[in-house]
């Protein structure tokens, strides 16, 4: 029998990739968003658009009957986290509980605070010494506590996103923003390891995890390793795929610091600077026990595809050879 998944925030950066991945895997895919789905998603077999606000759980409950998995891919802007992140998470949690569905959440490394260790395991202590860490810890604690009410849930933690046509990540707003001028804008030292998640790989990992729904009882936390690489490795990979010389640049952190009191978005960037100053990688041992080897596209190919989707395919060597 065909399985049904409800994806909350289906027009977001990860939401679109999840919708594609589940539909391609044969799931009946309910895609919730306030605005219409992109044409390619709307035309995908098995995809149905649920128009509406994610906070309107009663309306969604009726439309999502039969869903065995709910994915909370809702991600408010950095400047709106304190106002919206917890209410959206609680609405998703309530909806999954009332549907009797597995709740899945894309996690991140914020939980470990601004002095996070170099290797992040599922049992690494969480440290709420930033506002975003405290919010993420509260969201996941709520999911864990709801296990006592019968909620099954899993957090799949990953590094910074890249891949997909939709902007809004460090990759497109900084790293690739000046490639046309021969500059890779790297926010930190080139010798510091940073965790990245190529979104199509992460989305396929969600599909494989969802297929293990019967084994995911209570509350689980898992890590998606993705690509944990130094900035120098990223620079060299970009140099190898681009047709023009690429050199490293950096963000104007001094200017950002000066303007942060006046610009909320820059203040949020400044708060996250530590992620570029402290090396970190995710240990995926528990994930491998459940699904085997996680999906992992080679870095060079993932970068080529990412640049094409951002409209920068003309920068690539042998651009016509890059797979669609």
DSSP 275-292: HHHS--EE--HHHHHHHS
**Whole-prediction pTM:** 0.95
Residue 289 pLDDT greater than 70, yes or no: yes
**pLDDT tier for residue 267 given thresholds of 50, 70 and 90:** confident
Residue 144 pLDDT greater than 90, yes or no: yes
Q: How far is CA 55 from CA 11, 19, 32, 143, in A?
A: 16, 20, 11, 17
Q: Using CA atoms, how far apart are residues 231 and 184, in angstroms rounded to an integer?
A: 10
Residue 262 pLDDT greater than 90, yes or no: no
SS3 260: coil
Tell me the CATH number of domain 4-159+196-226+280-291, given options 3.40.190.10, 3.90.226.10, 3.90.550.10, 3.40.50.720. 3.40.50.720
Residue 1 pLDDT greater than 70, yes or no: no
Residue 306 in contact with residue 171, Cβ under 8 Å? Answer: yes
Residue 16 pLDDT greater than 90, yes or no: yes
pLDDT in tens, 74-99: 988 777 888 899 999 999 999 999 99
User: What pLDDT is attached to residue 238?
Assistant: 97
User: What pLDDT is attached to residue 324?
Assistant: 45
Residue 67 in contact with residue 30, Cβ under 8 Å? Answer: yes
Q: How many CA atoms lie within 13 A of 135 on its CB side?
A: 20
Residue 269 pLDDT greater than 90, yes or no: no
pLDDT in tens, 55-80: 887 889 999 999 999 999 998 877 78
* Average pLDDT taken over every residue of the chain: 93
Sign of CA dihedral 124, 229, 76, 207: negative
Q: How far is CA 137 from CA 77, 127, 244, 308, in A?
A: 18, 8, 43, 36
Residue 139 pLDDT greater than 90, yes or no: yes
Task: Calculate what percentage of the chain has a pLDDT beyond 70.
Answer: 98
What mean pLDDT is predicted for residues 115-127?
97
Per the rule left: phi > 0, alpha: psi between -120 and 50, beta: everything else, 150 is: left
What mean pLDDT is predicted for residues 245-257?
92
Q: How far is CA 24 from CA 44, 58, 68, 262, 285, in A?
A: 8, 29, 17, 45, 27
Residue 249 pLDDT greater than 50, yes or no: yes
Residue 281 pLDDT greater than 90, yes or no: yes
**pLDDT tier for residue 319 given thresholds of 50, 70 and 90:** low
Q: Using CA atoms, how far apart are residues 50 and 139, in angstroms rounded to an integer?
A: 24
Q: How is 5-68 classified by DSSP, letter by letter? A: EEEETTTSHHHHHHHHHHHHTT-EEEEEESSPPPHHHHTSTTEEEEES-TT-HHHHHHHTTT-S
DSSP-H helix ranges across 100-163: 131-145
User: What pLDDT is attached to residue 260?
Assistant: 81
User: What pLDDT is attached to residue 322?
Assistant: 47
């Amino acid at each position: 029998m065909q399985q049904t998944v409800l994806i909350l925030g289906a027009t977001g950066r990860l939401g679109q990739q999840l919708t594609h991945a589940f539909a391609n895997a044969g799931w009946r895919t309910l895609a919730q968003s306030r605005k219409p789905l992109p044409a390619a998603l709307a035309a995908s077999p098995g995809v149905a658009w649920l128009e509406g606000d994610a906070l309107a759980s009663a309306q969604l409950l009726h439309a999502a009957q039969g869903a065995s998995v709910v994915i909370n891919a809702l991600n408010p802007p950095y400047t709106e986290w304190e106002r919206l992140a917890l209410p959206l998470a609680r609405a998703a949690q309530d909806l999954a509980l009332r549907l009797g569905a597995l709740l899945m959440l894309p996690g991140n490394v914020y939980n470990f605070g601004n002095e996070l260790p170099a290797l992040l395991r599922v049992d690494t202590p969480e440290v709420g010494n930033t506002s975003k860490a405290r919010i993420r810890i509260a969201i996941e604690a709520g999911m864990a506590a709801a296990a006592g009410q019968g909620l099954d849930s899993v957090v799949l933690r990953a590094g910074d996103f890249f891949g997909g046509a939709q902007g809004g990540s460090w990759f497109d707003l900084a790293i690739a923003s000046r490639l046309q001028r021969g500059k890779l804008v790297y926010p930190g030292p080139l010798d510091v390891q940073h965790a990245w998640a190529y979104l199509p790989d992460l989305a396929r990992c969600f599909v494989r995890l969802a297929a293990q729904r019967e084994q995911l009882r209570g509350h689980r936390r898992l890590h998606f390793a993705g690509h944990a690489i130094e900035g120098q490795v990223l620079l060299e990979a970009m140099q190898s795929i681009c047709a023009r010389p690429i050199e490293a640049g950096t963000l104007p952190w001094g200017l950002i610091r000066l303007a942060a009191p006046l610009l909320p978005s820059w203040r949020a960037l400044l708060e996250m600077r530590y992620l570029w100053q402290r090396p970190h990688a995710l240990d995926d041992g528990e994930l491998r026990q459940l699904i085997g080897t996680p999906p992992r596209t080679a870095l060079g190919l993932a970068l080529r595809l990412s640049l094409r989707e951002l409209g920068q395919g003309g920068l690539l060597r042998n651009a016509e050879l890059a797979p669609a």
